[in-house]
Structures are given as C-alpha cells and as structure tokens.
Copies of this chain bind each other. A is one copy, B any other.
Amino acid sequence: MTDRHPAAALVALARVLLEDAGLEPAKAAVVAEVLVEADLLGHDTHGLQLLLPYLGALDAGTMTASGAVDVVSDRGAVALWDGRWLPGVWLTAAAVDEAVARAGRYGTATITIRHSHHIACLAAFLERATRHGMMVHLASSDPSAASVAPHGGRRAVMTPNPIGIGIPTADEPILIDVSTSITTNGMSGRLAKEGRRFDHPWLVDASGNATDDPTVLQADPRGAILPVGGLDHGHKGYALGLWVEAMTQALGGFGRADAPDRWGAAVFVQVTDPRAFAGDEAFRRQSDWLAAACRATPTAPDTEAVRLPGERALAHKRAALVDGVALYPGILEGLRAETVRRGLDWPSALAG
C-alpha cells in the first residue's frame, strides 16, 4: 500500500466516501478534488490525511452536509458569508471563484467566512485565482483551538494562522502557504505520533522552556508552538498571527470571544486583478524579473539552489500527475478500513 496511485482514482474514492457520509455530490466533488490537490502539491499533512476526520464530522453532524451560505452583508467589493459549518474546503473554493469574478469588476474583492468548517491546505486554492492572472491572499484561523503562544508567553492563545498568497508570473505562479507559527499542528501531531522531534526548539513547554519535543502539546499542563521568528525575533510572527485573527474572526464577527467548542475555521479571501492597476503585462514584467533574480541568486553553503515558494510543490504535482500520488504511510490503509466499515467497494484503480 505504499505504491503510487492515480490522482483521479483518489479523487473518485474521496467523492464516494464523502457522498456516503451525506455530503451533497457537487460539494463532495470539490472537497475531494482540493484534498487530492494538496497531496499533489506534497502538502501531505493537509490532503487526504484529513478525509477521515471530515467523514467523522459529517457522521456526527458537526459538518453541515447541504445547502448554501447565508450572506450576512454584501457591498459588491466585499461580502461576509455565514458558512453554516459547511465544508470549509468547498466554502473557500467557492469564495475564491466568486472573488475572482468580482475582482474583474472592482479591482479587488474580499470575502470573509464565519462558521466555516476546516479548510485544509491554503496552497491548494491559489491556482484557482492565478490561472486567471490574478493575485490571491487567503488567511485562516480556528477560534475553537489554540496551540501557538504569543511572543514571550508560555500558554497558547492562537492557532498557526496560515497566510496563502498566489502571484501570477508569465511562467508558473509563485504559491505561498506559510503559517505564522514556526510549525503546524498537523506536523506536530505527526511527529508526536511517531516519537520524533523537531530539528530545532520550535515549541515551549508549560514552564516556557524552549523544546524540540512535539508531545508538549498533549502534556498537562500544555506547552505551545512558537510564532515565526522563535525566541530570537518571534515578535514578528506573533504580530502576523494577530493580524490573521483580526482579518478572519474580528471582520467575520465570530471568534474566540464566543468560546466555540466546534472544530472549524474563520476565513479571509481576497483576490486582486492587476488589470485594475498597471495591467497584466506590467505586472508580469516585474514578477518575472523577480522570479528570475531569485533563481539566479548564488547559494549559501549547503544550499543546492534558491527556489521560489511553490516551485517544489508544482514540480511535485507535475510528477505525481504522471507517476501517481505517493500517500503518507497509513492514509490509504485508513481509507480502506473506512470503505469496509461503510460497506463500499474498494476501487479497482487503486493498489492495495
């Protein structure tokens, strides 16, 4: 079961499972496609790894399976959606698509979503905008959880609060997906489960001592992940994390002040059309120059090449579309057990 698998067969499997758990077919199609997109890009903590938890949330009724968003406010260039705990992956994809359409008219379009369920991998939404020649800026937080300490603190207040940015160039886009914490919940959970440690002291224990041990997040009392910059200059990551909290929860009007106990997300989506500024050609002239300059930078010792954000992910995707997707150990086994549990057939196109 450690073979490579055709992306289309994985998407089909995920669709069948999501539909079996009650998700509307059109939404199941989008969620399945975006989760596999994350695996194609190599973000394997935020791809099909999430399918079982999503199925569990559908079964439990904590992820809404059908219906549309409630539009709370709409001024054309900005809107606030109440996501009614629908799948965050579907909501975010819909918001990016809608913002692309609106940015063509207003120059930018901003949609915030409250009461979204989890949104998975920010990088997997970016090409929905960049393929139209547009920039996109995403941000997400989960007000029901906290694993990241403010700079100088030893108790978690925020989530990793990722920022996703897509920048079109004449060649492939620059795809940015960075948490404002040094590492993520997904990676910490994986290493803890496997008895591994981080390469650097990226967390603090409950006494505030720096540590490379991811199990401090499960200890009692709990430790916390450090913001980007760490002990050294973590005031910067802390500041950016606060910004994400404000963009997502404060603009959306639902967040930590409401003490939610339901796994979910507060989401910020903004798309910008270069044609409303200096134009497509002028934009790409600068972004192409920058991409070329970075790639041409002589390297520091022990560095093979200076890469652009997303470069390795897009190469991973190209290869995986040809050779198949190699899932992280355990994921396919878990899905196979789930199909058995649900009395579904295992697809013949998948090995194992």
Measuring CB to CB, which residues of chain A are less than 8 angstroms from any residue of chain B?
72-73, 75-78, 80, 105-108, 110, 112, 114, 135, 137, 149-155, 157, 163, 165, 167, 174, 176, 178-179, 182, 200, 204, 207-209, 228-230, 232-233, 235-240, 242-243, 245-247, 249-257, 270, 272, 274, 276-279, 282-290, 293-294, 297-301, 303, 305-309
If the complex has contacts A174-B242, A283-B251, are A297 and B155 also in contact, measured as CB distance less than 8 A? yes
Of B251, B283, B293, B300, the residue contacting A274 (CB under 8 A) is B251
A285 B309 Cβ-Cβ under 8 A:
no
Compute how far the CA of A276 lies from the CA of B108 in the bound complex, rounded to whole angstroms: 15
B77 and A77: CB pair below 8 A? yes
In-complex Cβ contact of A207 among B75, B151, B301, B306 (8 A): B301
Given contacts A165-B246, A245-B290, A256-B293, 20 further A-B contacts (CB under 8 A): A73-B276, A75-B107, A77-B108, A150-B294, A153-B297, A153-B300, A154-B297, A154-B298, A157-B290, A167-B246, A176-B239, A176-B240, A176-B243, A208-B298, A229-B229, A236-B237, A238-B309, A250-B286, A251-B277, A253-B278
Report how far A236 CA is from B121 CA in the complex, Å: 16
B239 contacts A228, C-beta separation under 8 Å: no
Complex CA–CA separation, A73 to B163 (angstroms): 28
Q: Are B150 and A306 in contact (CB under 8 A)?
A: yes
Give Cα distance in the complex from A346 to B277, angstroms.
45
- Interface contact B290-A278, CB-CB below 8 Å: no
A272 to nearest B CB, angstroms? 7
In whole angstroms, how far apart are the Cα atoms of A240 and B229 in the complex? 13
Q: Ordered nearest first, which 10 A-B pairs have the shortest CB separation?
A: A253-B278, A78-B107, A208-B300, A253-B282, A153-B297, A257-B289, A152-B303, A250-B286, A77-B77, A176-B239
A–B pairs, 10, beta carbons within 8 Å: A73-B277, A76-B106, A155-B298, A176-B243, A179-B236, A238-B309, A250-B274, A250-B290, A252-B278, A255-B286
In the bound complex, how far is the Cα of B251 from the Cα of A78, in angstroms?
Answer: 20
Tell me the bound Cα distance from A11 to B178 in angstroms. Answer: 41
Nearest-CB residue, chain B, relative to A114: B278
A73→B278 CA distance, assembly (Å): 8
* A145 CB, nearest partner CB in chain B, Å: 13
CB distance from A127 to the nearest CB of B (A): 16
**Residues of chain B within 8 A of A235, CB atoms compared:** 178, 309
| Given the contacts A232-B230, A253-B282, A278-B73, A301 and B242 also touching, CB distance less than 8 Å | no
Q: Which chain B positions have C-beta within 8 A of A232?
A: 200, 230
B298 touches A153 (CB 8 A): yes
Check B299–A152 contact: CB distance below 8 A. yes
**Whole-angstrom distance between the Cβ of A54 and the nearest chain B Cβ:** 26
Q: Are B289 and A255 in contact (CB under 8 A)?
A: yes
Q: How far is the CB of A143 from chain B (nearest CB, A)?
A: 8
Contact (Cβ within 8 A) B246 A276: no
Are A77 and B298 in contact (CB-based, < 8 A)? Answer: no
State how many angstroms separate the Cβ of A208 from the closest Cβ of chain B.
3
Query: How far in angstroms is the closest Cβ of chain B from A347?
Result: 36
Find out whether the CB atom of B208 lies under 8 angstroms from the CB atom of A239: no
- B278–A251 CB distance below 8 A: yes
Shortest Cβ gap from A170 to chain B (Å):
12
B307 and A152: CB pair below 8 A?
Answer: yes
